[in-house]
Structure 1
Amino acid sequence: MPPRLRLSNARVPQSVRCQRLLCQFEIPTAVRYASTAAATTPAPPIEQMTISPPPIASSPPSQPPSHRSPEHRRSQLLRQYTSLIRTTPLMVFLQHDNLQSVEWAAIRRELNKAMQKVDAQIAAEGRNAPALAPHIKVQIIQTSIFDVALRIVEYFRPSQSTLEKGKPPSAVDPATQTSAEISLSGDRDDPTLTHDLSRAAQSAVRNVKGQHALSTLLVGPVAVLSIPHVSPEHLKAAMSVLAPKAFGYPAPTRKANPDWHTLSVQNGLSKLNILAARMDNQVFDVDQTKWVGSIEGGMDGLRSQLVMALHSMGSSITNTLEGAGKSLYFTLESRRNVLEDDQKGEGATGDKAE
């Protein structure tokens, strides 16, 4: 075989090497034209150069800077819990003891069936009420984060916090508790930020820890039954499924609902205990919750009872006032008749004497 030649030792002609160097250091045509155009373009005015450009927001207005990192799961749970508390006027707190996923699925199935029956009954009666069954849910909560969410909703007032800091109150959306004034500097500790993950919200509720009525109950494994409207009928049906013995409600019969008597449902219900309820920002115990569920006709029935009570109260007041006036009138009339009889008697005796 002929000997192999190494390329490193091969000599390259000088003309080829010069062409390579010229190609490497040659200025592109576009760069030459750009430099020529820049040299001929006039400089901007002095006013434009002296005015500083406006600051660029580090975050969009729809997502203001947060004192708590919004990417963390705890922050997302806090926002979820505050939204749930603000939009749910009726919540029932239950203590659960190591329920299995099969038991939770069976309990949710029976609860959904009971809620659908109540919706069908309301629709059959011709009452104009929205269907609540798709929105009634039972979910397990993180008690420590839920306690913070409760304190933020109950005690945090953005207008008061801004006034204490000597700043005018900003426009705050009551649904999201977010301020309309967003700092362009993007400072996450800006006191004008008043959303749930802001530093102002965290500082405002730090000193009221443990003062809420539900703080003593939010210990251990807790689940929440959320009903988006105050409906005594749905509450009674839910308690008839979850805790019929504790509330004194009749349990579903085996003939009417055989699935409720299955082993998975009964094992799950034996591990549930009703703690309390939160209704229209007030804490109710088991007896008060039972009284709400015993209202006949739901909220419409309660309104009709209130109208009847006010009507009867007004009629009783009217009768009382009229009775006082009538008694005074009869007293004066009887007195006048007595005086007239006395005058007639005196006149008759005077005639006889003459």
Structure 2
Amino acid sequence: MPPRIHPPSRAIASIPKKRRHVRSQRQYATAAAITPAAPHEQMTKSPPPIARYPPTQPPSYKPPEFRKSQLLRQYASLLRSTPLMLLFQHNNLKANEWVGIRRELSAALQKVDAARVSPVHPPEPLADAIKMQIIQTGIFAAALRVVEFYKPESRPSTLDPTDPSTPSSAAVPVFTQSGDQLTHTLSKAAHEAVADTRTAHALAPLLSGPLCLLTFPNVSPQHMKAALSILSPSPPRFPAPTRRANPGWHDAAIQSGLQKLLLLGARVEGKVFDLEGAKWVGSIDGGLDGLRAQLVAMLQGIGGGVTNTLESAGRSIYFTAEGRRTMLEDEQKEASRETAKQK
């Protein structure tokens, strides 16, 4: 079947062929006059390479587009930037129970911020920065191993992620051609460094089942004490709020949710504390300021004892010498008196 040839439109068909040819020549001439002559360097220069990776995302061993990879990066950043975190186990909490617990926790922490305001200490609101979040236990365990056991070199890598010759994430080498190592959290070096450390960390026995974290931006025993009084009360150090002072805490939904929460331990400044250790940190009187005052008092006591010990030796020598001098003077006076009597 022959191809169909669409007839030209009536407007184009009404123009004579000579006029159409002249008009097309004028259009080409106008376009040539408008377009400047390209220099020889631009014509011979090759176009810039297409960036395979953005400058802020180097090639990784694990695909960064997966949700697991992003959670691993998020948990690793959280572990590096959070000096104090409490680890809880939760068992089938409902949405209204979570909402009530977070509401009461926020109210208790804001009371601590209001009580700490004084003319000596500037206001330091920490209640808004203290978060309670549910975590994926397996991915959090992997991030914890990377943070604790993977210590890359401090020198930066010179790998250019925008270079098309850079291999893809499916076949990223441990070292580049220049000898630099990919040292980010999703790199192959990090994966191989923590491959055999599944049970080496002190928190490994606790990382099983559904878990949630309570993270603090600073080590504040006052805020920690308020949080434990709400989430895991244990009198007399962490008494539960009374019904008259806080009637919302005694609601049935909140009490049902608190029965499903279990405090497992804490991580303070990179060190793991068990249940008793976490409660000891929260029970420090006066917080860090009180702990510093106790340390200063102890150092002053040690310094005073050392000073007294050193001074006692010199003082005893001084008293011995003074006593001997007094005895010699008395003997000399007695001898002079006997001589005077004999004369």
TM-align CA RMSD: 3.6
Residues 176-204 of structure 1 show CA distances to partners (whole Å, capped at 9, x for unaligned) of: xxx56434443332433221111122122
CA distance in 2, matches of 1:337, 1:138: 78
Match of 1:333 among 318, 322, 330: 322
**Would the aligned equivalents of 2:145 and 2:201 in 1 still touch at CA under 8 Å?**
yes
1:182 aligns with 2:132: no
CA distance in 2, matches of 1:201, 1:103: 39
Q: CA deviation at 1:214?
A: 0.6
Residues 219-263 of structure 1 show CA distances to partners (whole Å, capped at 9, x for unaligned) of: 111111111110010000000001112774211001111110011
1:104 aligns with 2:92: no
Give the corresponding residue for 1:130.
124
CA distance in 2, matches of 1:140, 1:328: 70
Structure 1 residue ranges without an equivalent (≥5): 1-7, 13-21, 161-168, 171-178
**Would the aligned equivalents of 1:247 and 1:290 in 2 still touch at CA under 8 Å?**
no
Distance of aligned partners of 1:126 and 1:184 in 2 relative to their CA distance in 1, 3 Å threshold: same
1:313 aligns with 2:291: no
Give the corresponding residue for 1:73.
67
CA distance in 2, matches of 1:129, 1:182: 45
Give the corresponding residue for 1:61.
55
Match of 2:202 among 209, 213, 219: 213
Distance of aligned partners of 1:247 and 1:159 in 2 relative to their CA distance in 1, 3 Å threshold: farther
1:268 aligns with 2:257: yes
CA distance in 1, matches of 2:136, 2:259: 22
CA distance in 1, matches of 2:25, 2:149: 68
CA distance in 2, matches of 1:231, 1:267: 28
**Would the aligned equivalents of 1:247 and 1:286 in 2 still touch at CA under 8 Å?**
no
Q: CA deviation at 1:70?
A: 1.4
Give the corresponding residue for 1:116.
110
Letter in 2 for 1:182: D
Distance of aligned partners of 1:256 and 1:43 in 2 relative to their CA distance in 1, 3 Å threshold: closer
**Would the aligned equivalents of 2:266 and 2:273 in 1 still touch at CA under 8 Å?**
yes
Residue 121 of structure 1: SS of its match in structure 2? helix
1:258 aligns with 2:252: no
Q: CA deviation at 1:138?
A: 1.1
1:228 aligns with 2:217: yes
Residue 218 of structure 2: SS of its match in structure 1? coil
Q: CA deviation at 1:336?
A: 3.0
Q: CA deviation at 1:339?
A: 4.0
CA distance in 1, matches of 2:104, 2:256: 13
Give the corresponding residue for 2:184.
195
Match of 2:279 among 273, 276, 290: 290
CA distance in 2, matches of 1:262, 1:349: 102
Give the corresponding residue for 2:289.
300
Match of 2:138 among 136, 144, 160: 144
**Would the aligned equivalents of 1:135 and 1:227 in 2 still touch at CA under 8 Å?**
yes
Q: CA deviation at 1:337?
A: 3.0
Structure 2 residue ranges without an equivalent (≥5): 8-16, 176-180
1:241 aligns with 2:230: yes
Question: What TM-score comes out, normalization by structure 1 length?
Answer: 0.76
Residue 234 of structure 2: SS of its match in structure 1? helix
**Would the aligned equivalents of 2:131 and 2:215 in 1 still touch at CA under 8 Å?**
yes
Give the corresponding residue for 1:324.
313
Distance of aligned partners of 1:255 and 1:234 in 2 relative to their CA distance in 1, 3 Å threshold: same
CA distance in 1, matches of 2:101, 2:267: 21
CA distance in 1, matches of 2:267, 2:254: 25
Give the corresponding residue for 1:155.
149
Residues 46-95 of structure 1 show CA distances to partners (whole Å, capped at 9, x for unaligned) of: xx97x988755411211222211111111111111111111110000011
Question: What TM-score comes out, normalization by structure 2 length?
Answer: 0.79
CA distance in 2, matches of 1:277, 1:144: 18
Distance of aligned partners of 1:246 and 1:221 in 2 relative to their CA distance in 1, 3 Å threshold: farther
Task: Report sequence identity in percent.
Answer: 49
| Count of residue correspondences | 315
Letter in 2 for 1:217: L
**Would the aligned equivalents of 1:91 and 1:279 in 2 still touch at CA under 8 Å?**
yes
**Would the aligned equivalents of 2:137 and 2:207 in 1 still touch at CA under 8 Å?**
yes
CA distance in 1, matches of 2:131, 2:158: 33
CA distance in 2, matches of 1:206, 1:30: 72
Residues 157-184 of structure 1 show CA distances to partners (whole Å, capped at 9, x for unaligned) of: 2207xxxxxxxx32xxxxxxxx564344
**Would the aligned equivalents of 2:133 and 2:212 in 1 still touch at CA under 8 Å?**
yes
Q: CA deviation at 1:133?
A: 0.9
Distance of aligned partners of 1:346 and 1:214 in 2 relative to their CA distance in 1, 3 Å threshold: same
